[in-house]
Amino acid sequence: MKNLVFLVLLFVVLLFSSESNAQVKVSLGLEAGINIANTTQTPDANTNSKVGMIAGGVLELGLSKQISIVPGIRYVMKGNSFTTNNVNVDNKGNFLQFPALLKVKFPLTEIKPYLIAGPILGILLSSTQDQSTSTQSASFDTKANFETTEFSLLFGGGLDFKVATTTDLFFQFGYELGLSNISKVVNQTIKTNGIQITAGAKFGL
């Protein structure tokens, strides 16, 4: 049901954008950066954050000088780490994400601050757990323990820098808050979160 609601909302946003085509300014871009990832869990668990990579593409649909819709596709590494009984545990999850963000820009000239917020649909590609001690190590495929889809909310802000007539560079900072429980384990809840820092370039069409 959640999947259906998300897809319907995304379809409505894109349909609205396409119907306003005469006013839409379109840009394509690439972004890359880091995700300082962690999880919140029930029962409570004391986990450490894990730094992973973010890479992908964005499509910015400018509905006005201040308002844009920014769908995209990106690869995101998530996870956490902890130590128990002298065993170091490193959890890694790789996701393909489809954000649909609302972007509000402040009306300045060459440098434009902006705010972003919106939902993200994530597809789990792989999940592993590495365990190590001072003398040995092992790796396990844990994908069967998790849901294949995840819903989250991203909010943050950034700066657009105009470097040419149709080219902008951007720097973005955001926080991704997991909304759905991705654990299949009975009586356990796991939701992801992450502080995200990315940069990239956009090219007007």
CATH number at residue 60: 2.40.160.20
| Average confidence score pLDDT of the chain | 90
**Residue range of the domain that includes 196:** 2-10+25-41+48-80+97-123+147-204
Burial of residue 116 (CB within 10 Å: 0-12, 13-18, 19+) is buried
Domain membership of residue 54 (yes or no) is: yes
Residue 92 maps to a domain: no
Which of 153, 65, 150 minimizes the C-alpha distance to 103?
65
Confirm whether 85 is domain-assigned: no
Distance CA 55, CA 157 (A): 18
pLDDT in tens, 123-133: 999 999 999 99
Tokens 């993200």 appear where? 120
Residue that has been written with the tokens 């808050």 in this structure: 177
The three-class DSSP label of residue 10 is helix
Tell me which H or E stretch contains 160: strand 149-164
Task: Give residue 158's pLDDT.
Answer: 97
The answer to whether residue 200 sits within a structural domain is: yes
Distances (CA, A) of 92 to 7, 30, 52: 27, 24, 9
Over its C-alpha atoms, the chain yields an Rg (Å, rounded) of 19
For 22, which DSSP code?
A: G
| Strand pairing class (67-84; 111-132) | unpaired
Amino acid at 52: G
Neighbours of 93 (CB within 10 A): 27
Residue 195 identity (one-letter amino acid):
I
Cα 159 → chain centroid: 18
Residue 67 lies in a domain: yes
Residue 109 pLDDT grade (very low, low, confident, very high; cuts 50, 70, 90) = confident
pLDDT tens, residue by residue, 114-124? 999 999 999 99
Global confidence as pTM: 0.85
Task: Give the total number of structural domains in the chain.
Answer: 1
